[in-house]
Amino acid sequence: MAKKDLASVTTDLSALAAMMPTQRAAVAPIAAEPAPAPLKVVAKPAAAPKAKDEPLTQFSLSLRKDLRKQLSRLAGDADMTMRAFVLNALKEKGLSVRDDDIADLRKERH
């Protein structure tokens, strides 16, 4: 197989670009719209620092399948995780649940 000689290619790229629809000049200039307000950079609120002397402990709860579906539905309707929903219920019953306990522990998606 012979090597191609790229020096012999004499394609005029500007002529090719002129044929592309994105390279053609607009027929009529569009009336200028008012500029949108500039975006503000807002710092993400810092999470409340967790006490280092209070380690988290795992807790498991077994539920009937139907009851778990109900919990999932209620939490979804409240736009919360099931964990946050249960912690809010415990807080309503008088347990000392802090806001940082209820915070979503899942990693943020970018």
Structural domain contains residue 55: no
* 46 backbone dihedrals φ, ψ, rounded to 5°: -70, 140
In a domain, 26, yes or no: no
107 lies in a domain? no
Q: Pick from 55, 56, 88: which is nearest to 71 by CA?
A: 88
Residue 91 lies in a domain: yes
94 within a domain of the structure (yes/no): yes
Amino acid 64: pLDDT: 94
Instruction: Please check whether residue 24 lies inside any domain of the structure.
Output: no
pLDDT tens-digit readout, 80-109: 899 999 999 999 999 998 888 887 666 666
Provide the residue range defining the domain that includes 98: 65-102
- Residue 92 resides in a domain: yes
Q: Are the C-beta atoms of residues 48 and 99 closer than 8 Å to each other?
A: yes
The total number of structural domains in the chain stands at 1
